[in-house]
Every structure is written in structure tokens, then in C-alpha cells.
């Protein structure tokens, strides 16, 4: 058995001897036996209640002695614990700086080992990020462990997917816009063509109507001229006629003679 452990066991035994309680377990059981039969059948009987109170006070007195002894021991060991803690602090102050220095060397070695491992997979990490259109500095990638890199790659992948989705939506909108414009142009041409046809038809109808009117007018003029010729009213003889034009008819009067009053 190590010497240090033997010393601790020896100290423990010494402490047990020093911290003995006067009240033994056997003694306490005897004290409890004295009160075990103390009871009160009638809770209004002062004599029975006084016996209960007396038994409680006596037993509580034994407990108080135990508590006071325990407090005194604890106070003693509190002081000892404080002294031990201060001594421990003083001793560790000598070794702790060196332990921390050695730990730093080990930590630096571990960091270098991790860095070299990450440098091996660095091209793979760059390649996977390039696939999602991302370029991250090597220094940043070397700071990431596998878990952090996996989360980072997922984040950049989601960003690319969202960017691609928005770009596709814009592309679809542009495509639909061109389709709508072409359709509108086609419909516009169709409407324009129909308007031209309608205009031509209307012009032809108007021309026909005008022609009919003109023909009717010419027909009326011809009939009128025939009427005048029939009554010998020409450009030469028209001075011998008087023409009366009414809304419903034309009345032709012919001069049949003249009488000169001065003769």
C-alpha cells in the first residue's frame, strides 16, 4: 500500500478517536425506550400531556448535547480545512504555471495535427463549395471542424438553390412576357387586318352608295334635260321660257308674245 494512503488512513482513524460523541447508539436507544410508552389517551388530560412534554424535553436535551458536540467538531475542521486549502493553494502555485506551459505545448501540437488533417481535405472542401458558387478563404476553412464545415456547406448550398430558384422564376417571367408580347402583336395584327378589311368594305359600300346617288342624280338631270328638250327649251331658246322650281316639281312657262306699250 502506498505510504501516502497509509498516512491518510492513520489520520482518519485519529480523527475518529478525536471526534467521539459521548452519546453512544446503545445509550440513545435506551433513552428512546424510556419514552416509547409515553402517550395520551385523552388529549384534554393535563397530567398525561405533562408526561408527554417532560419526555420530549428530556429527549430533546440529549439531542442538543449531540448537536453542540457536532458543531464544535465542525468548527474545528472548518478551521483545519481553511488551513489545508491555503497550503494547497501555496503548493499548487509552484507547479501550476509549469503544468499550464506544458499543456500549451500539447495544445499547440494538437492544433498543428488538426491543421494538417484539415489541409489534407482542404482541396475537397474548396471543390464542394465551388460547386455551389462559393469561394471562402483557406484560413477560414482551416478553422472549421467537420461539423462546422458541414453546416457551412449546407448553408451555402441552400443560398445557391434559392438564388437559382429566383433566377429561374425571372427567366420564366421573361419567357412568358415575350410570349405575351408576341401574342399581343399577333392579335394586334389580326385586329388591324380586320379593321382594314372593315374599312375597305365600308369604303366600297360608301362608294357604291355614292355611285347609286350619283347615278340617280345623273338620271334625274338627264330626265330634266329631256323634259326641257321636249318643250324646245334649249340654250338658244331658254330666254323665251320661265322655269318655276317647287319642292315637288318644275313648272315650265313659255313666252307666247310681247306687246310694246309705246307703239
Measured CA to CA, the distance from residue 192 to residue 175 in angstroms comes to 25
pLDDT for residue 20: 67
List 245's β-bridge partners, or say none: 250
pLDDT for residue 109: 96
Residues in the chain: 263
Give the Cβ contact number of residue 51 at 10 Å: 15
Domain ranges of the chain: 3-119, 219-254
Largest CA distance in the chain: 196
Grid cell locating 142: 482551416
Grid cell locating 190: 389580326
The crossing angle, in degrees rounded to 10, of helices 25-35 and 46-131 is: 130
Q: Which tops the pLDDT comparison, 101 or 10?
A: 101
With beta carbons less than 8 A apart as the criterion, state whether 83 and 76 touch.
no
Measured CA to CA, the distance from residue 167 to residue 159 in angstroms comes to 12
List 251's β-bridge partners, or say none: 244
Pick from 10-24, 186-200, 219-233: least confident? 10-24
pLDDT per residue over 15-62, tens digit each? 665 566 767 788 888 889 989 998 999 999 899 999 999 999 999 998
With beta carbons less than 8 A apart as the criterion, state whether 245 and 252 touch.
no
Pick from 47-56, 159-168, 177-186: least confident? 177-186
Mean pLDDT comparison of 90-99, 207-216, 223-232, 240-249, highest-scoring range: 90-99
Q: Which tops the pLDDT comparison, 193 or 125?
A: 125
Q: How far is CA 83 from CA 5, 72, 131, 262, in A?
A: 21, 17, 65, 178
Q: What is the pTM of this model?
A: 0.42
pLDDT for residue 223: 83
Distance between start and end Cα atoms, the chain? 191
Query: Three-class SS of residue 226?
Result: helix
Amino acid at each position: 500500500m502506498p505510504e501516502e494512503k497509509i498516512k491518510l488512513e492513520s489520520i482518519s482513524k485519529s480523527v475518529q478517536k478525536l471526534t467521539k460523541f459521548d452519546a453512544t447508539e446503545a445509550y440513545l436507544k435506551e433513552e428512546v425506550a424510556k419514552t416509547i410508552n409515553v402517550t395520551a389517551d385523552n388529549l384534554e388530560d393535563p397530567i398525561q400531556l405533562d408526561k408527554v412534554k417532560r419526555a420530549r424535553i428530556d429527549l430533546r436535551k440529549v439531542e442538543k448535547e449531540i448537536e453542540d458536540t457536532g458543531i464544535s467538531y465542525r468548527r474545528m475542521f472548518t478551521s483545519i480545512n481553511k488551513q489545508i486549502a491555503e497550503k494547497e493553494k501555496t503548493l499548487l502555485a509552484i507547479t501550476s504555471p509549469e503544468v499550464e506551459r506544458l499543456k500549451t505545448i500539447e495544445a499547440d501540437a494538437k492544433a498543428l495535427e488538426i491543421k494538417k488533417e484539415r489541409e489534407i481535405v482542404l482541396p475537397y472542401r474548396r471543390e464542394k463549395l465551388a460547386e455551389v458558387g462559393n469561394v471562402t478563404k483557406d484560413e477560414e476553412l482551416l478553422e472549421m471542424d467537420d461539423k462546422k464545415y458541414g453546416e457551412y456547406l449546407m448553408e451555402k448550398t441552400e443560398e445557391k438553390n434559392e438564388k437559382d430558384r429566383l433566377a429561374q422564376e425571372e427567366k420564366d417571367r421573361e419567357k412568358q412576357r415575350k410570349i405575351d408580347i408576341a401574342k399581343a402583336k399577333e392579335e394586334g395584327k389580326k385586329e388591324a387586318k380586320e379593321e382594314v378589311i372593315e374599312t375597305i368594305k365600308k369604303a366600297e359600300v360608301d362608294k357604291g352608295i355614292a355611285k347609286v346617288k350619283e347615278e340617280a342624280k345623273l338620271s334625274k338631270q338627264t330626265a330634266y334635260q329631256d323634259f326641257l328638250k321636249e318643250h324646245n327649251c334649249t340654250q338658244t331658246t331658254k330666254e323665251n321660257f320661265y322655269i318655276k322650281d317647287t319642292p315637288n316639281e318644275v313648272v315650265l312657262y313659255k313666252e307666247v308674245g310681247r306687246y310694246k306699250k309705246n307703239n
